[in-house]
Structure 1
Amino acid sequence: MSYELPRAAKLLINVDSKYIGLDAGRTHKAGKKCKVQRSPADPGLFIIWFGKTEIAKVPALRLTQTIEYTDGRTQL
C-alpha cells in the first residue's frame, strides 16, 4: 500500500510533540506550520511533522479539529 507525501498544514490547537527515539518533546502553539501524513504503520493515526525529527500522533477522528491544510488541495 502506498501513502502520499506529507501535506502542508497549520495547527488549530496546541499540540505536544516528541523527538523520534526520545521521551523529550515540547508544545507547539496554534498557528504553527507543519506537515501531515497518514501513518504507514497504523492507518488510524496521522503523523504531524515539525521538522525532520519531531512528531506528534493524532487519531484520524480528531484530525479536522487539530489541523487545517494549507496546500490548496481540496480536503476529502
Structure 2
Amino acid sequence: MTSSSEENALPGEIIVRLDVMLALRKRRAKDVAAEIGMTEANLSLLKSGKVKGVRFDTLIRLCDALSCTPGDLLEYVGNEAEEGR
C-alpha cells in the first residue's frame, strides 16, 4: 500500500533558470521586476524556485523583458528512480 504523499508525488521537477537568463542578459532582478510590474520579493521567490506555480501572464512578461522563451526559464528534470520501474 502506498501513502497518499507517494501517490501525489510528481515524477520529476521543474528547475527555474531565471537567474541564468538574468546573468546572460546582464540584467538586474530589481530592474526586471520593475519593468514587468512584479515586486522584487516575488521575483526573488520565483528565481529561487520557492513558488508552487507561475501565471502565464507573468511568464509572458518575463520572456518579453528577457527576450527569451519559457523553455529558457524553466527546465523539466525527470526522476530517474521513477523511470527505472
Common fold by TM > 0.5: no
* Larger RCO, structures 1/2 (Cα 8 Å, 6+ apart): 2
TM-score, normalised relative to structure 1? 0.32
TM-score, normalised relative to structure 2? 0.30
Write 1 or 2 for the structure with the bigger share of helix.
Answer: 2
Structure of greater Rg? 2
